[in-house]
């Protein structure tokens, strides 16, 4: 066997070894934890179990978004269990794409929104506490976890525009009444998104309906009541 053949054979064996190792590594890689597993392992006290819940009264609310633009999603958990809440404001946790807790907040309520802007390569998050929204920014190493130091987010003008879009929509114009802003929108809904409830009366009985409004796109769409958590 000449020198060229030896070199070629060496390259082939190296490639085969690398492929085999990659396949083995993929096989042994642990699966990403489910949301229940994240809550049980990293949030609940040792030995504590998730309580029996219903769709309208979940143990926690969650949302996912790629906050650092790496193609993988981070997970936001907002607890709803009484032990983790005080006056309808609850503990919140942010997990990275490797299921590690990277930020915690107390006394958080909805809405929890995905900001339009980016700071240090991470999307801003808009959190609400004491009925006041704040812009949470990344500070090179982590997200700000001190709500008192987070700038206030004022969306009054945008909210008024959202109300107008909802009222002018064909859905509401067709016998709609009692339009109200509803904060039960999904975790990590867009910064320009709003949820409204309204009523329609049929034979002296009223039925509740929901509208989702995106002020940026001017889009108004209906939302099924079954997809909304009331708690």
**pLDDT, tens only, 27-54:** 433 455 799 999 999 999 999 999 987 7
Q: Are residues 74 and 140 in the same domain?
A: yes
Closest by CA position to 136, among listed 222, 76, 47, 201: 76
Handedness of CA 173, 156, 94, 41 (dihedral sign): negative
Q: pLDDT-derived band of residue 25, with 50, 70 and 90 as boundaries? A: very low
Point out the domain boundary residue: 83, 117, 149.
149
**Which pair of tokens denotes residue 63?**
């949302």
Q: What is the pLDDT of residues 114-141, one digit of tens each?
A: 999 999 999 999 999 999 999 999 998 9
What is residue 157's three-state secondary structure?
helix
Kindly report the pTM of this predicted structure.
Answer: 0.83
Residue 27 lies in a domain: no
What is residue 78's three-state secondary structure?
strand
Q: Are residues 141 and 207 in the same domain?
A: no
Beta carbons of 76 and 94 less than 8 angstroms apart: yes
Q: Are residues 84 and 176 in the same domain?
A: no
User: What are 104's strand-pairing partners?
Assistant: 93
Q: How many residues does the chain have?
A: 231
Q: Are residues 123 and 211 in the same domain?
A: no
Share of residues in the chain with pLDDT > 70 (%): 84
What is residue 156's three-state secondary structure?
helix
Q: Domains in the chain: how many in total? A: 2
Query: What beta strand segments (E) does the chain contain?
Result: 60-65, 74-79, 85-86, 89-95, 101-119, 122-129, 132-136, 177-182, 189-190, 193-202, 205-214, 219-223
**Which pair of tokens denotes residue 204?**
């002296």
Q: What is the pLDDT of residues 47-90, one digit of tens each?
A: 999 998 776 789 999 999 999 999 999 999 999 999 999 999 99
Q: Are residues 190 and 99 in the same domain?
A: no
Its domain, for residue 174, covers: 156-227
Beta carbons of 128 and 112 less than 8 angstroms apart: yes
Residue 161 lies in a domain: yes
Closest by CA position to 221, among listed 191, 199, 193: 193
Q: Are residues 141 and 64 in the same domain?
A: yes
What pLDDT score was predicted for residue 62?
97
Share the mean pLDDT of the chain.
Answer: 89
Q: Are residues 45 and 138 in the same domain?
A: yes
CA distances to 145, 172, 202 from 207, in Å? 41, 13, 8
Q: Specify burial of residue 96 (Cβ count, 10 A radius: 0-12, 13-18, 19+).
A: middle
CA distance 145 to 150: 8
Which residue in this structure is represented by tokens 């609850």?
A: 90
Share of residues in the chain with pLDDT > 90 (%): 77
Point out the domain boundary residue: 133, 149, 165.
149
Q: Bigger pLDDT: 175 or 204?
A: 175
Residue 213 lies in a domain: yes
Q: What is the pLDDT of residues 208-230, one digit of tens each?
A: 999 999 999 999 999 998 888 75
Q: Are residues 123 and 48 in the same domain?
A: yes
Mean pLDDT over residues 135-161, rounded? 97
């Amino acid at each position: 066997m000449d020198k060229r053949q030896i070199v070629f054979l060496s390259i082939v064996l190296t490639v085969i070894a690398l492929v085999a190792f990659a396949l083995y590594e993929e096989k042994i890689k642990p699966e990403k934890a489910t949301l229940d597993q994240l809550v049980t392992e990293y949030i609940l006290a040792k030995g504590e179990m998730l309580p029996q819940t219903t769709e309208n009264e979940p143990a926690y609310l969650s949302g996912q978004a790629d906050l650092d633009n790496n193609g993988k999603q981070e997970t936001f958990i907002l607890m709803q269990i009484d032990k983790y809440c005080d006056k309808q404001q609850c503990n919140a946790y942010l997990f990275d794409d490797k299921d590690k807790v990277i930020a915690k907040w107390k006394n958080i309520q909805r809405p929890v929104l995905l900001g339009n802007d980016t700071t240090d390569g991470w999307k801003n998050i808009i959190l609400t506490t004491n009925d006041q929204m704040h812009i949470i920014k990344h500070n090179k190493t982590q997200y700000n976890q001190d709500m008192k130091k987070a700038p206030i987010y004022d969306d009054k003008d945008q909210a008024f525009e959202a109300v107008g879009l909802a009222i002018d929509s064909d859905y509401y114009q067709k016998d709609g009444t009692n339009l109200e802003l509803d904060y039960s929108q999904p975790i990590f809904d867009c910064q320009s998104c709003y949820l409204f409830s309204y009523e329609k009366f049929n034979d002296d009985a009223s039925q509740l309906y929901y509208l989702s409004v995106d002020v940026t796109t001017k889009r108004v769409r209906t939302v099924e009541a079954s997809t909304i958590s009331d708690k």
